[in-house]
Chains A and B, each alone.
Chain A
Amino acid sequence: MQTVLVANRGEIAVRIIRSCKKLGLKTIAVYSENDEKGLHVRLADESVCIGPRPADKSYLNIDAILAAAKAYRADLLHPGVGFLSENDAFAEACAEAGIRFIGPQPASMRVLGDKEAARKTMIANGFPVVPGSDGIVESVKEAVQAAKCIGYPLMIKAAKGGGGKGIRIVEDACALEREFPLVRREAELAFGDGSVYLEAYLPEARHIEVQILADMHGNVLHLGTRECTLQRKNQKLIEEAPAANVPASTLAAIEHTAVEIARAVDYQNAGTVEFLLTKDGRFFFMEMNARIQVEHPITESIFGLDLIKAQIQVALGHHLLISQENLIPRGHAIECRINAESPAENFRPSPGVIKSMQLPGGNGIRIDSGYASGDEISPYYDSMVLKLIAYADDREEAIRLSSAALHELSITGIEHNAELAYAMLSDADFRSGTVHTKWIEQSFLPRFLRGRT
């Protein structure tokens, strides 16, 4: 019998354990001192404590996890999402220990994990990346020259900046010449480094991603698109599959490019290529996530398959049998992430014990959660309580099904964002598909908060 060690916690660990049980595989859960009574520990065949609460001492502790895998003679290891899932050193250490890591090869992870290296690889292979200067721009003259290739409007970005700081948007060459020295000076003062670079400003862009599945034998398939445009501070809140309100030809081009990208980095197992889609229909590579994604269930819904099972099969060396033409999605799926946070108080996390949890159900509704009534949402880890996935024949039905399910959902003991999700699903902008990645912060949230008070 094959034994799978699940090197994660919460919802994704539970998700993986459930698939393993279905497949008749033995499961080993690992847990920190905090999660001794966690749902994933209760469900797994065996469990082992790997250290104290802080993630770097437990879920990020490579030595302890590998020792647990060896001690329980695990054949396979699933890293889940987050934590060590995109750590190439961990994948390598697993291979050395004779344990099959359920994920891509370390070499691919290394390329994709380094933003600069990934960008260079994509440019070298002729894939579209967000236009920008070739590294740091030293002078105004150089900047104006680079801007001719990039086009306007564009952003001047501080190399050491982050979180929206040290960014200036300019509309034309005149403004660029005026602002460039100012941004450099600001960056010098704020970050101690005056290096800046240029990048095309893509207003009102959408986030479209493609699910990739590749076996060890060179077969690469895509499993359609997902739209994850509804995000706040790069945190996805609602996702849908397939992407709606995008011309079929554009979607086909995006899917085709994603497959080519996966081939270019010798990708194996399940992965996701993320693109920005602009208003005028151009799309650019953002990054490729070398792991399963949180929002994978919506793809599972429209294709009627189990991606965790597929991951395990790839890791076991199985051959992809089905051809791309025979992979036909059906219907529409929407996922809402319900987090323990208070939208009214600037999304302050709301950890605590779940006193009760009344879950919706029925045809087309799927709930993935790592918690049950009486469990505690710990401030030490992420605040996601559950994922509500609704699957119906078309987008309209899926939205109505999601809304109804959100209405049924009742969680007490903690604050959560179900009301916010409900409001977003009801919003005319969302229904007509005129949203973009900054829509929540710029347009929706102000309206939502005003409506509440």
Chain B
Amino acid sequence: MNLFSEQIEHSLPQTGEATGALEILRCARCGRDLVAEVVLAGDAACPYCGNLFRQPAYRRIEAIVDSGSFIEIERETETGDPLSFPGYRTKLEKERVKSKMQEGVVIGKATIKGQRTALAVMDSYFMMGSMGTVVGEKIVILAEFALHNRLPLVIFCASGGARMQEGVLSLMQMSRTTIALARHSAAGLLHLNVLTHPTTGGVTASFAMQGDITLAEPGALIGFAGPRVIEQTMRDKLPEGFQTAEYLYEHGFIDRIIERRDMRETLAAILALHNAGHTETAGQGARR
């Protein structure tokens, strides 16, 4: 029986991909193909084996902080091209469109289960989270912001290292961030790092190893030079699991490995402990 005055329009199935191919992520552990958009909208873990994918910065913030509490600062800061490095400007443009990010780190303040904190989240989807002048500058700004407001500081690290296209200016950021964070620390404030996959190069050699507490996600690659570089230099085989979060935990570089789904609870608990001891000093800071 036909109930309606109109007919459903339909056409024959089109041959070829008219809608454009979907971006497929292959799980490195179980080898299954997953739709990138679906996986990254959730907690970026493989639904089959629990293997973690790199998580985009804004999605991570959404999962960690209290809903609506995140206030981003310095969003529009843009990278220049200090060395006029060939092709750098076009690459930046492409990366911005692809990752929908302005730069490799997002900074701001937020509450985690009611605990106020300054927060920086690096995004490995923007030029592998490499640290150039802007990333360095934003970490410095956040450290100073946290110092001024007497806030604890949580940094999610994810980086391939210094940004090669900015040469020595990138390497300069290592000392700048280290000094800014040392001042924050000298004021008796908490600096907490979460090392995510991958944390390498200049970031590992500077602020990623500088925290009062260093947490890591399971299976994250953490190191300075990559395993292949070391193998070729030393002409030797590396031990199994070298540079994984678990290996570093066994050798005392990391305080605790935290599952992604437990991260919010853990951070909230640590911040609550810290803030409870600092309500008095925080009050003085505000009066000053």
- Assembly CA distance A289 to B197 (angstroms): 47
Q: How many residues of B contact A (CB 8 A)?
A: 25
Residue of A304, A310, A313 with most chain B CB atoms under a 10 A cut-off:
A313
Q: How far is the CB of B67 from chain A (nearest CB, A)?
A: 13
Are the C-beta atoms of A322 and B3 separated by less than 8 Å? yes
- Assembly CA distance A104 to B6 (angstroms): 20
- Assembly CA distance A213 to B3 (angstroms): 10
**Chain B contacts for A320, CB-based, 8 A:** 3-5
- Assembly CA distance A68 to B3 (angstroms): 32
Number of A-B contacts (CB under 8 A): 90
Q: How far is the CB of B227 from chain A (nearest CB, A)?
A: 31
- Assembly CA distance A25 to B5 (angstroms): 19
**Chain A contacts for B1, CB-based, 8 A:** 303-305, 322
Q: In the complex where A1-B13, A25-B8, A52-B47 touch, is A313 in contact with B3 (Cβ < 8 A)? A: yes
Are the C-beta atoms of B38 and A50 separated by less than 8 Å? yes
Which chain A residues numbered 45 to 59 have a C-beta less than 8 Å away from chain B? 48-52, 58
Which chain A residue has the least Cβ–Cβ distance from B9?
Answer: A2
Are the C-beta atoms of B6 and A318 separated by less than 8 Å? yes
Q: In the complex where A33-B48, A52-B47 touch, is A64 in contact with B13 (Cβ < 8 A)? A: no
Are the C-beta atoms of B22 and A26 separated by less than 8 Å? no
Question: Is residue B14 contacting chain A, with contact meaning CB distance below 8 A?
Answer: yes
> What 1/0 mask marks residues of chain B from 45 to 66 whose CB sits below 8 Å from any chain A CB?
0011000000000000000000
**Chain B contacts for A67, CB-based, 8 A:** 37-38, 40-42
| Surface stretch bound by B, among A69-77, A113-121, A413-421 | A69-77
Are the C-beta atoms of A71 and B38 separated by less than 8 Å? yes
Q: How far is the CB of B31 from chain A (nearest CB, A)?
A: 14
Q: How many residues of A contact B (CB 8 A)?
A: 40
Are the C-beta atoms of B8 and A313 separated by less than 8 Å? yes
Which chain A residue has the least Cβ–Cβ distance from B22?
Answer: A71
Question: Is residue A319 contacting chain B, with contact meaning CB distance below 8 A?
Answer: yes
> What 1/0 mask marks residues of chain A from 296 to 324 whose CB sits below 8 Å from any chain B CB?
00000001110001101100101111100
Q: How far is the CB of A172 from chain B (nearest CB, A)?
A: 51
Chain B binding surface, main DSSP class: loop
- Assembly CA distance A24 to B8 (angstroms): 9
Are the C-beta atoms of A2 and B38 separated by less than 8 Å? no
Are the C-beta atoms of A51 and B3 separated by less than 8 Å? no
Question: Is residue A254 contacting chain B, with contact meaning CB distance below 8 A?
Answer: no
- Assembly CA distance A213 to B41 (angstroms): 35
Are the C-beta atoms of A305 and B3 separated by less than 8 Å? yes
Question: Is residue A394 contacting chain B, with contact meaning CB distance below 8 A?
Answer: no
> What 1/0 mask marks residues of chain A from 19 to 40 whose CB sits below 8 Å from any chain B CB?
0000111100000110000000
Are the C-beta atoms of A23 and B10 separated by less than 8 Å? yes
**Chain B contacts for A221, CB-based, 8 A:** 3
**Chain A contacts for B3, CB-based, 8 A:** 213, 221, 305, 310, 313, 320-322
- Assembly CA distance A213 to B40 (angstroms): 38
**Chain A contacts for B11, CB-based, 8 A:** 1, 24
Question: Is residue A63 contacting chain B, with contact meaning CB distance below 8 A?
Answer: yes
Q: How far is the CB of B259 from chain A (nearest CB, A)?
A: 14
Which chain A residues numbered 120 to 139 have a C-beta less than 8 Å away from chain B? none
Question: Is residue B35 contacting chain A, with contact meaning CB distance below 8 A?
Answer: yes
- Assembly CA distance A48 to B42 (angstroms): 13
Question: Is residue A61 contacting chain B, with contact meaning CB distance below 8 A?
Answer: yes
Question: Is residue A66 contacting chain B, with contact meaning CB distance below 8 A?
Answer: yes
- Assembly CA distance A322 to B47 (angstroms): 47
Q: In the complex where A70-B37, A304-B1 touch, is A319 in contact with B42 (Cβ < 8 A)? A: no
**Chain B contacts for A68, CB-based, 8 A:** 35, 37-38
Are the C-beta atoms of B8 and A312 separated by less than 8 Å? yes
Are the C-beta atoms of A50 and B47 separated by less than 8 Å? yes
Question: Is residue B2 contacting chain A, with contact meaning CB distance below 8 A?
Answer: yes
**Chain A contacts for B213, CB-based, 8 A:** none
> What 1/0 mask marks residues of chain A from 218 to 245 whose CB sits below 8 Å from any chain B CB?
0001000000000000000000000000
Q: How far is the CB of A246 from chain B (nearest CB, A)?
A: 24
Q: In the complex where A313-B3, A321-B4 touch, is A64 in contact with B14 (Cβ < 8 A)? A: no
- Assembly CA distance A400 to B11 (angstroms): 43
Are the C-beta atoms of A49 and B34 separated by less than 8 Å? yes
Question: Is residue B15 contacting chain A, with contact meaning CB distance below 8 A?
Answer: no
**Chain B contacts for A61, CB-based, 8 A:** 42
**Chain A contacts for B41, CB-based, 8 A:** 63-64, 66-67
- Assembly CA distance A346 to B34 (angstroms): 42
Which chain B residue has the least Cβ–Cβ distance from A32?
Answer: B47
Are the C-beta atoms of B8 and A71 separated by less than 8 Å? no
Q: How far is the CB of A89 from chain B (nearest CB, A)?
A: 13
Are the C-beta atoms of B6 and A319 separated by less than 8 Å? yes
**Chain A contacts for B4, CB-based, 8 A:** 215, 310, 313, 318-321
Question: Is residue B19 contacting chain A, with contact meaning CB distance below 8 A?
Answer: yes
- Assembly CA distance A75 to B121 (angstroms): 34
Are the C-beta atoms of B38 and A48 separated by less than 8 Å? yes
Which residues of A are in contact with B by a Cβ distance under 8 Å?
Answer: 1-2, 23-26, 32-33, 48-52, 58, 61, 63-64, 66-68, 70-73, 213, 215, 221, 303-305, 309-310, 312-313, 316, 318-322
13 contacts between A and B (CB under 8 A): A23-B8, A24-B11, A24-B12, A26-B13, A50-B47, A63-B41, A64-B41, A68-B35, A310-B4, A313-B3, A318-B4, A318-B5, A319-B4
